[in-house]
Amino acid sequence: MKFGILVNEGPYQHQSSDSAYMFTKAALENGHEIYRVFFYHDGVNNGTRLTVPPQDDRHIVNRWTELGKEHNLDLVVCIAAAQRRGLLDENEAKRQGKDANNIAEGFRISGLGQLIEAGIQSDRLVVFGD
Amino acid sequence: MKFGILVNEGPYQHQSSDSAYMFTKAALENGHEIYRVFFYHDGVNNGTRLTVPPQDDRHIVNRWTELGKEHNLDLVVCIAAAQRRGLLDENEAKRQGKDANNIAEGFRISGLGQLIEAGIQSDRLVVFGD
Amino acid sequence: MTENVTKKFLYVNRKAPYGTIYALESLEVVLIGAAFEQDVSVAFIDDGVYQLKKDQSTDGIGMKNFSPTYNALGDYEVTQIYVDKESLDERGLTADDLMNLVYEDEDDDYAEKSSISIVNRDELAKLMEQQDVVLSF
Amino acid sequence: MTENVTKKFLYVNRKAPYGTIYALESLEVVLIGAAFEQDVSVAFIDDGVYQLKKDQSTDGIGMKNFSPTYNALGDYEVTQIYVDKESLDERGLTADDLMNLVYEDEDDDYAEKSSISIVNRDELAKLMEQQDVVLSF
Amino acid sequence: MTLHTVNKSPFDRNSLESCLRLARPGHSVLLFEDGIYGALKGTRFEQLVTEAVKSNSIYVLLPDLEARGMRADKVIDGIKTVDYAGFVNLAAENTRVQAWL
Amino acid sequence: MTLHTVNKSPFDRNSLESCLRLARPGHSVLLFEDGIYGALKGTRFEQLVTEAVKSNSIYVLLPDLEARGMRADKVIDGIKTVDYAGFVNLAAENTRVQAWL
């Protein structure tokens, strides 16, 4: 079965990102497919490569990147939400005249249409938020 | 009277940062002093220079920077909370081996002791959060 | 862009405007989603009903008043807007307190009709059960 | 670092652990604050009382179990921990459900004593009213 | 005296009820952000707040009220409206500010 | 059939009550994250949830329960515990998943 995942909160502040990760991992382990993980609202902050969590804690961003690499996941950060919150890739930084970008490996920035598309193409859409 | 301000949430997702700004501005306009504005939890995300909000919306980060410049405010981002969430200045980026930083003008990164100190030195500490 | 599938989408709004951004960013999803020609409904439950309160005026808080954008829903052919009656009741609100959201009915000589249906618990529960995709904000 | 002022600090915890980070980051403030030699109290109210539930085991959720850190409070001379009785009651919890937080009383031959006081509404309200600084998480 | 601040809707969160349970007589309570919904007539919480007005000074932040399409005439009798400067004054006049997050 | 998910404490938020009001008989409800507090015996919400068990299948996520120091024997009779794989199964078995955020 094909799942779409929506993550509405950033890393560490709320458990939503942890729960979404555990759900996604369990779905993959049980033979399901993940059509897309879409990061919206503060969820876009899951896609920054600048986090340095304490060494005895989980690394939420790297965990997504690694799961993504292993299973060829489509990790999509909403562009409108990302602009409000300061999450940029190289192209966006250039386009907005910013001197740095902070997107993590394995994430890509795209429009809200990708969320609707995930709703259409997935058998189930599961939402994690506050 | 000397106020200390604590901001616990990031920009745009919650009104906390807006309310804290409006309160701080009103306090200054009414002749009070702001000892320090301390950004904790997701509040650290108020200190990123990479946001690009829609043109017809307020620019929360720049607004803090400008108010800070005008009134010589001490805008302090908690280092531990900032590390978890990916908010770095140049020194921190170097120290952590990161290839970019994202702190905005007028903010500085420091320890939680600065919050306690704000509690000790201010006449009133006002907390804005979720 | 996508296969030619039509699904029933429901957007569920349970949060008040301005205190958090969910209401605004939910509306942005609904507007973008309208381009996909799905069967779209929007529900306002609990504090979500406050999103439709008329006379919003945000000058004093320095935030953008996005409530006029709800008026655009009709032009985007988002015409099925459901408001939970119990949520209105416990807030002391009636239909008169809400913005008058309308659309032009193509099948009825472009007559202007209200997009808002005030529904009871049972009607709302049934509506939810008919959906393919439920997006919660 | 600071002038030689002693103030009464109260940390108010009203949120459950793990669902959000407030409990953990509040505890970090309390520990750092302990170095400032202020008069520190910590209150647990509403879902905050769940922070002190014993037997926490986070292996299954992949998050760090930070509950053992509460045991360090006594060593940091944070010995005034107040738990709201009404909050325990409506959750069906008693003192036995909580971690046994203790400190060694210097003034009583280092006898081990409980840091936790279970207080009623009136005691808690009075405690709050005695503070110079109230930090809420 | 304490200024208590409540920024969440009483329908969504328990912070207003918790605040009113633990605020002492004579204390002030400011309702702002989504907390303003607790100040309104006709809601399920009207009685609770009307009762509180008898022993506490209750304030509501007008800019937050107006943002949400409400006006001062919708506010429960005895609740006073303030602007941000009034919020600052309340924080200064009281001995401490306690936020009910 | 719908799988409803509730991730907040019923003491803090209204999402459990709202979910149970609008879930239809036969629907499933999963309590996870801070939502697990709604599954416990002895709380102010026990009766509400015990009543719901009669018409709905209620589940609680065991890893979230254990993280918070609770065990399966504290759970209201009739509520079933699941792990993340069980959560995935529930999402797959039902026609849709509705989150009560």
Fold topology of E2-100: Hypothetical Protein Ychn; Chain: A, (3.40.1260)
Q: How far is E23 from chain D (nearest CA, A)?
A: 6
Chains that touch E (3 or more CB pairs under 8 A): B, C, D, F
8 Å CB contact of F84 and A8: no
Is pLDDT of A114 > 70? yes
Q: What is the pLDDT of residues C37-88, one digit of tens each?
A: 999 999 999 999 999 999 999 999 999 999 999 999 999 999 999 999 999 9
Q: What is the pLDDT of residues A53-101, one digit of tens each?
A: 999 999 999 999 999 999 999 999 999 999 999 999 999 999 999 999 9
A35 CB within 8 Å of a chain F CB? no
What lies within 8 Å, CB to CB, of D95 at 6+ separation is: D83, D88, D116, D118
Q: What single-letter DSSP state applies at residue B122?
A: S
In angstroms, the CA D105 to CA D8 distance is: 20
Is pLDDT of E96 > 80? yes
% chain E with pLDDT above 90: 100
Q: Note down the domain range covering B21.
A: 2-128
Q: How far is F5 from chain C (nearest CA, A)?
A: 11
Question: Would you list the domain boundaries of chain D?
Answer: 8-136
8 Å CB contact of B125 and D134: yes
8 Å CB contact of D133 and E96: yes
8 Å CB contact of E24 and D12: no
Is pLDDT of E44 > 60? yes
Q: What is the pLDDT of residues D7-51, one digit of tens each?
A: 999 999 999 999 999 999 999 999 999 999 999 999 999 999 999
Q: What is the pLDDT of residues A12-38, one digit of tens each?
A: 999 999 999 999 999 999 999 999 999
The half-sphere exposure of E47 on its side-chain side, counting CA atoms within 13 A, is: 2
**Predicted local confidence at residue D5, as pLDDT:** 80
Bridge partners of B127, per DSSP, are B6
**Predicted local confidence at residue D3, as pLDDT:** 55
Is pLDDT of D60 > 70? yes
Beta strand ranges found along B8-85 (DSSP E): 33-39, 75-78
Nearest CA in chain F to C125: F22
CATH number of the domain bearing residue B88: 3.40.1260.10
What lies within 8 Å, CB to CB, of D123 at 6+ separation is: D82
The shares of helix, strand and coil residues in chain F, as percent rounded to the nearest 5, are 40, 25, 35
Looking at domain C8-136, which of 3.40.50.300, 3.40.1260.10, 3.20.20.70, 3.40.50.1370 is its CATH number?
A: 3.40.1260.10
What is the length of chain D?
Answer: 137
Could you tell me if A38 and A70 are in contact, meaning their C-beta atoms sit under 8 angstroms apart? no
Chains that touch D (3 or more CB pairs under 8 A): A, B, E, F
Beta strand ranges found along E43-87 (DSSP E): 57-61, 80-82
What angle do the packed helices E15-22 and E46-53 form, to 10 degrees? Answer: 30
Phi-psi region of B57 (alpha: psi -120 to 50; beta: other; left: phi over 0): beta
Rounded mean pLDDT of D75-83? 97
Q: What single-letter DSSP state applies at residue C107?
A: G
Q: What predicted TM-score, i.e. pTM, was given to this entire model? A: 0.97
Within 45-64 of B, beta carbons closer than 8 Å to E belong to: none
Within 17-36 of F, beta carbons closer than 8 Å to C belong to: 18, 21-24
Question: Would you list the domain boundaries of chain E?
Answer: 2-100
Strand-by-strand arrangement of the A2-7 sheet: A107-110, A75-78, A33-39, A2-7, A124-128
Say what the ipTM of the complex is: 0.97
Reference D24, options D34, D36, D15, D33; nearest CA is D15
Chain A residues whose CB is inside 8 A of the D63 CB are 15, 18, 57-58
Q: How far is F41 from chain E (nearest CA, A)?
A: 21
In angstroms, the CA C87 to CA F82 distance is: 32
Q: How far is F89 from chain E (nearest CA, A)?
A: 30
Could you tell me if B34 and B27 are in contact, meaning their C-beta atoms sit under 8 angstroms apart? yes
Is pLDDT of B62 > 70? yes
8 Å CB contact of C25 and A40: yes
Nearest CA in chain B to D23: B41
Residue B78 among the catalytic residues: yes
**Predicted local confidence at residue C3, as pLDDT:** 55
8 Å CB contact of F69 and D67: yes
- For residue C1, what pLDDT band results from cuts at 50, 70 and 90? very low
